Amino acid sequence: MQSVLLEEEKKVELIVEPEAEEKWDLVIEPKSGLFDLRLKEVWNYRDLLVLFVKRDFKAQYKQTILGPLWHFIQPIFTTVVFLVVFSNIANIPTDGIPPILFYLSGITIWNYFASCLNGTSNTFVANAGIFGKVYFPRMILPLATVLSNLVKFSIQFLLLLSLLIYFSIQGVSINIGWSLLVLPLLLVVLAGLGLGLGIIISSLTTKYRDFSVLIGFGVQLLMYATPVVYPLSFLVEKSYRWFIVWNPLTPLVEAFRYALFGQGTVSASSILYSFGFMLVILLVGLIIFHKVERSFMDTV
């Protein structure tokens, strides 16, 4: 009987032996500091970023008749309105650039910034359902918005290049040179400004929904504080010129036109100012965004 009991005890000991330590592929921990942004996680989730970019581009014109053709229609109609109002009625000069090209170039570069800002400014509220179900770096969604809008910009830029070729065939002098190589830098700065401002606003709208109402109106006003429908040279004798000059978007729009037409008021110092402003806004936006993402589900 005693031997039977000993065998039973050995069996029990074998059963209660601790299992081998489990190894996890991913450990989710709370952020430890203000500057613990964990940007490396975004790179690790780059496949998800590509999927969101495709989703945003397809969903934007899903169940529409004309689909991506709206990317052409919107700038064309806006250019026609600007031609009538600002060129024919207000007689605002265009620095010797054909008015159609002047307005279309301003609309093309402005639309990219405005789309990035509007798209990222609603990140938390619009995607609360996804954020509450599965973990992934929250910065993936605003970055996907910026990249999907780059596709839209490319389509509109092709329209602008087509008109450039047409006008050059008609004998209009188009001064395209090496300055065209700065376009990627301009787009990076514009994307950074749109992303930084957008995620700041998105963080604020988790508690203060008024910002989401004001953003559309604010972007429209900002366009008129940027030389989109007028050249900076038109404001030489205006008392409010300083306000337009200190707008970090002004050098970018002027540099974009200079790269295409060789006309515009731009300098290296003004571009550096815009670049520095973008870095500050982007850093502040990332810090606020990552601070809010810890608790936004309690307030959305």
Tokens in use for 204? 């604020």
User: Max Cα separation, the chain?
Assistant: 112
The number of CA neighbours under 13 Å toward the Cβ of 48 is 15
The pLDDT assigned to 281 comes to: 94
Of 135, 147, 149, 74, give the one whose Cα is nearest residue 104.
Answer: 74
Q: What is the DSSP string of 103-143?
A: HHHHHHHHHHHHHHHHHHTTHHHHTHHHHTT----TTHHHH
Whether the pTM exceeds 0.75: the reply is yes
Q: What is the DSSP string of 42-63?
A: HHHTHHHHHHHHHHHHHHHTTT
The pLDDT assigned to 38 comes to: 64
Tokens in use for 112? 């990219």
Tokens in use for 106? 């301003």
Mean pLDDT per 10-residue segment, the chain (300 residues) = 49 48 59 58 80 78 66 86 89 87 93 90 74 76 89 89 85 67 90 91 77 79 91 83 90 91 84 94 88 63
The pLDDT assigned to 233 comes to: 85
The pLDDT assigned to 273 comes to: 94
DSSP-assigned letter for residue 247: -
248 within 8 A of 278, measured Cβ to Cβ: yes
Query: From CA 122, how far away is CA 125, in angstroms rounded?
Result: 6
**CB-based burial label for 189 (10 Å; 0-12, 13-18, 19+):** buried
The pLDDT assigned to 14 comes to: 46
The pLDDT assigned to 4 comes to: 47
